[in-house]
Chains A and B, each alone.
Chain A
Amino acid sequence: MIHTLVRASKAAVTASTCLALMACTASAPPPATASKAPAPGAGHGYDHDPYPSTYHPYPGVPTLLTNVTVYDGEGGRIDHGAVLFADGRIVQIGQDIAPPAGATVIDGTGKWVTPGVIDIHSHLGDYPSPGVKALSDGNEATAPVTSEVWAEHSVWPQDPGFSRALANGGVTTLEILPGSANLFGGRSVVLKNVYARTVQGMKFPGAPYGLKMACGENPKRVYGSKGREPSTRMGNIAVDRQTWAKAVEYKRKWDKYEKDGGDPPARDLAMDTLAGVLAGEILVQNHCYRADEMANVIDMSKEFGYHVTAFHHAVEAYKIADLLKANGICAAVWADWYGFKMESYDGIPENLALLQKEGTCAMIHSDDQNGIQRLNQEVAKAQAAGRRAGIDIPDEVAWEWLSINPAKALGIADRTGSLKPGKMADVVLWNGNPLSVYSRPEKVWIDGAMLYDAYNPKLRPVSDFELGQPGSGDVK
């Protein structure tokens, strides 16, 4: 698995990279006397995790939810079911589970239990509320290639949006991406939806980084209006290809150095990210609306030897569901956003259902501080549109669009995204069927800690920004 490799290398690197790092900086060249430094080994030429997660699970109590309908997140459903979690992990799901001594038992008659919702596309923190210029940190729109920027360095952990996503949306994990002004927007970061004083305190431990890329109208508009490349779609691809060619060369130099030692090549932070993609450590999350543009990107990925993990905002994915499936690429989409610009003109509400019918990896996403509060509802609409078109997708299968599929596309499916024993106890108790408009989260646990309870105002998080403001602590 990609992430375990990264993790192992991180541990090794943090212990021993101080010297290597210094050797890498231009201001401190390696001493001339060192005729040939020893080879650091693959992936050890520089620190790959210099801003490590400091997230820690909060304390929980062993909890048994009984008499609930369970969507397990992987397509399974249990009626009159039960879910047991303890020590931050799922212990068991089934129909009859005996409560361990000391466990809290919650009778969930008439209620539903699902894994926490995962949003693969969010700008909470880098386009936070309030949306004032001073906090507008999502697009480094000064050059079309800015793969050196990391979204986590823009994320404001006090965004009130995190609390709404938790309480109204049952969101427990989310990916924060740079915006789409640039062809290479920068690195994304995966967060647990748990407030912390620092973004490091929210980072999902061991989740791989993502690289945000963008096709289409946005980059060509932003840079075309500045009178520079790219101003066309062909310009987009040309700049992309030139950049990948450079990245291949950069990686070759570093691979050689890591294998053979000697003088380390000059560091280039933008190229670090792309080399990480080429090495399979960093997952490409590509904003791309149109079917024909996705096909171009797929060919480009083959030309340079990388893989696109998911196309985001893939409004026309339904037109190439077969191509996406054949290439093992997921589509992250809205339920019914369409028509707001030319490249979204062909959006249809059956997109998700058509992808599912073809067997293509598909998921819902929000890209929006309000939409993230209702992703379950968006799935319900998409499912219903499919049903009307004769594509019958059971509720528990539709729930994959909110759980295991985004978990896969984020490289964290072995740890969250379903209620399988041993996984993180990221759990939502809904006060009714979560595919009904009339249902809301009642309680949300993250790593087994209850972090929202509709019946306990003290378990309703209030960010620093909202403290002392009119309506502070109100239901929202």
Chain B
Amino acid sequence: MKALLLAAAALVAAPASAATTAIVGGTVAIGDGSGPIPNGTVIFTDGRIVAAGARVPVPAGATVIDAHGKWVSAGMVAGLSTLGLADSEGVEESNDVSAGKSPFNAAIDISPAINPNSIILNNERWGGVTSALVSPATAGSIFAGQGAVITLGVGPDPILRPRAFQYVEMGEDGAAAAGGSRPAAYAMLHDALAEAQDYRRSPAAFGGREKDSLIKRPDAQALLAVLDGKQPLLVHVERASDIRSILALKKDYPQLKLVLVGAEEGWLAAHDIAAAHVPVIAAALVDLPESFERVAATESNVGRMEQAGVTVALSTVDASAPGSQRNLKQFAGNLVAITKIPGSTGLDWGHAFASITSGPAVVMGMDGEIGSLRPGRRADVVIWDGDPLELASAPVAVFIDGQPQPQSSRQSELRDRYMNPEDGALPKAYQR
């Protein structure tokens, strides 16, 4: 079957641009919250989904891929990541995630720094991640700068939406960045937004180039999009009281398009979050009081928030392990698992899968573009050898924008080289 799939993929790769692909017979997971559809069909053409579901007719002339016994789903959308910003986060020289010595903060725009050739992107892609929110991290200010939404498809231009959001720290980390307290973080936030308004009123009169100015000119300029609600403001907070304080910002700045990040105590304020129509990019599965702002952390957080009507996307935020986005499916699977534990609140399969596909897309207002197999979306499609949320399952084919993606990686080449550890006729360096 794998050979068949590969052959089919090669066919699709042929330059016939108007070719239509039909993946038939598999269990289809659309990614919009609906449950898996047995024996479904997914049709895409010119890089866009045409149809997906049961009883979808296969157009004449379509390249047919047989996926019986397999699952066909929307690709995962990483809820919040640093993909493409570092070859190895621990190798400082390769790491563009934060810039502690820069005079700028809100102005920082990560989109020109994304490296689509990073081996990490390759591994994540082959793990079923097809697009991602990518964020800078803070260093020396509560503002980290502007993140982007990227595609993981092979190609020179990874950016789907540059300057897609602004990221700000407002909990314990924000307090530390602002000089030592949460009130100082609020003072910094209000001042920065006030300066942005000053800049708007009179760009010519606005300074922001002095060495000691609190807000630099480009930072003030960048925050206008936040003030106008044209750019979502992602706010990392965990404690229930911090969440409520952030929701209250809408009184002063009614246009703000808030998104909560982390929100481990969100379940204690779930109805307020829902009433404010603020979505959450949640720290999945975190269940320990790793700091005083997270004493009420529980794996039921996501389920309880969603039950209250909050839109939730999963992320590796606050996960202590290295942030492999391909493990988001494991997080989602665990949220299904806890539905069997008395007292726990989890998600049903469809909503769990949506939390790693359409969920992040909805948060960004991009669910018309990515995150599901509904008609018109980018054809980011993964064929899995089983239930994608299961630990043992992995992709057997990945299409991004309708294009079949490479099936090897640096990791698979290392594996093949060391399948037998002993040296051969020549050293390992000659084996590839």
Q: A-side interface residues toward B, CB under 8 Å?
A: 129-132, 160-161, 164, 168, 217, 318-323, 336-342, 344-350, 354, 358, 368-371, 373-374, 377, 380-381, 383-385, 387-389, 431-432, 435-440, 454-455, 457, 465-466, 469-471, 474-476
User: Which 5 pairs from chain A and chain B are nearest by CB?
Assistant: A341-B90, A437-B333, A471-B296, A384-B392, A380-B391
* Interface pair A318/B343, CB less than 8 Å apart: no
Stretch of B162-170, B212-220, B416-424 with 4 or more beta carbons under 8 angstroms from chain A = B416-424
Complexed CA–CA distance, A381 and B294 (Å): 29
State whether the Cβ of B287 lies closer than 8 Å to any Cβ in chain A. yes
Complexed CA–CA distance, A253 and B389 (Å): 60
Complexed CA–CA distance, A381 and B386 (Å): 13
State whether the Cβ of B268 lies closer than 8 Å to any Cβ in chain A. yes
State whether the Cβ of B11 lies closer than 8 Å to any Cβ in chain A. no
* Interface pair B288/A470, CB less than 8 Å apart: no
Complexed CA–CA distance, A371 and B287 (Å): 12
Q: Which B residues are in CB contact (< 8 Å) with A340? A: 88-90, 322
* Interface pair B337/A439, CB less than 8 Å apart: yes
Complexed CA–CA distance, A130 and B391 (Å): 30
Given known contacts A341-B89, A371-B320, A377 and B391 CB-to-CB distance under 8 angstroms: yes
15 A–B contacts, CB within 8 A, in A order:
A318-B421, A319-B418, A339-B88, A339-B123, A341-B88, A354-B421, A381-B391, A436-B391, A437-B334, A438-B390, A469-B289, A470-B265, A471-B265, A471-B298, A475-B300
State whether the Cβ of B425 lies closer than 8 Å to any Cβ in chain A. no
Q: Which B residues are in CB contact (< 8 Å) with A320? A: 421
State whether the Cβ of B336 lies closer than 8 Å to any Cβ in chain A. yes
Given known contacts A369-B290, A371-B321, A388 and B394 CB-to-CB distance under 8 angstroms: yes
Interface residues of B in 63-102 (CB under 8 A from A): 88-91
* Choice from A370, A374, A385, A431 contacting B288 with Cβ under 8 Å: A370
New contact pairs (9) apart from A217-B90, A322-B421, A387-B392, CB-CB < 8 Å: A319-B421, A322-B422, A323-B421, A341-B88, A432-B340, A438-B333, A440-B341, A470-B265, A475-B342
State whether the Cβ of B297 lies closer than 8 Å to any Cβ in chain A. yes
CB distance from A150 to the nearest CB of B (A): 25
* Interface pair B421/A168, CB less than 8 Å apart: no
* Interface pair B415/A350, CB less than 8 Å apart: yes
Complexed CA–CA distance, A161 and B320 (Å): 13
Complexed CA–CA distance, A475 and B296 (Å): 10
Q: Which residue in chain B gives the minimum CB-CB distance to A340?
A: B322
Given known contacts A339-B120, A345-B88, A476-B298, A438 and B340 CB-to-CB distance under 8 angstroms: yes
Q: Which B residues are in CB contact (< 8 Å) with A455? A: 342
* Interface pair A466/B289, CB less than 8 Å apart: yes
Interface residues of B in 300-346 (CB under 8 A from A): 300, 319-322, 324, 327, 330, 333-334, 336-338, 340-344
State whether the Cβ of B248 lies closer than 8 Å to any Cβ in chain A. no
State whether the Cβ of B431 lies closer than 8 Å to any Cβ in chain A. no
Q: Which A residues are in CB contact (< 8 Å) with B330? A: 374, 377, 381, 437
Q: Which residue in chain A gives the minimum CB-CB distance to B286?
A: A370
Q: Which B residues are in CB contact (< 8 Å) with A336? A: 324, 327
Q: Which A residues are in CB contact (< 8 Å) with B194? A: none
* Interface pair A321/B342, CB less than 8 Å apart: no
Q: Which A residues are in CB contact (< 8 Å) with B319? A: 370
* Choice from B295, B333, B342 contacting A469 with Cβ under 8 Å: B295
* Interface pair A370/B88, CB less than 8 Å apart: no
Q: Which B residues are in CB contact (< 8 Å) with A342? A: 88, 90-91
